[in-house]
Structure 1
Amino acid sequence: MSTYWAILERAPGSKLRLTKLDDEIYESFKTEFPDFDPAATIDEDEMKSKAGKEKWRNWMKQYEEKVADYNFGTLLRANPKFEYGEKETIFVVRMQFYAIEIARFVISQEHEVMAETNLIL
């Protein structure tokens, strides 16, 4: 995780790609989870509730043949503002990691554009 964090510190979100399907994953994620705020701290209890698990499981099925190891476990920062650490990470499956981190990249990219726009004005 320290390698991934080092990449996050050195590259803007607009320059990062996790998969060849990032755009598809983001659009599908945004459609299925329109109220999910990737900039907020993740509510792990809600995500791992019976209803949450079912919703995520149903969404992830579409990537079973497209993304290698789509349902393998990995660590995710619960809050994008903090580095990986014992209290700051949660255990998720790979597609949850991809969806949430890609959404965080998009938000980062939007902030970059806003910052550039403010500089021009």
Structure 2
Amino acid sequence: MYTVTKEIHFCYGHRLLNHKGKCRHLHGHNATAVIHLESTQLDELGMVCDFSEIGDYVKKWVNQNLDHNMLLHSDDPVLPLLQEAGESVYVMPNNPTAENIARLIFDYVEAGGYPVVQVSLHETDSALASYRKP
């Protein structure tokens, strides 16, 4: 089995609805998404996937949707205020946790036809959440 891994760095803001701790407040992170691709075969160049190809694919979407953006649950009461103020917001159907953001990126990579097996999101240097299909 062959694997390749590509890291994407971006910044985002969020808050978690109904969280008991300080994550209930608006705050931000410098995140690293780690995309793992896997294949039993290599392409004609001897690669699972060219690093720049997967990097460009994911970076373009992340830059358009997540980077320097506020990620909020669709039920967040501050959402209408930020939208009325013209702020850029990415609306999620669930809490914008590291786990759910990892799943969001995984689904995008998978929809692009890449052999993704796992996406991990470093929310901080010491906190990592991952999503992979069962």
With the length of structure 1 as denominator, give the TM-score of the two structures.
0.31
Question: Which of structures 1 and 2 has the bigger CA Rg?
Answer: 2
Greater relative contact order (Cα 8 A, min sep 6): structure 1 or 2?
A: 1
With the length of structure 2 as denominator, give the TM-score of the two structures.
0.28
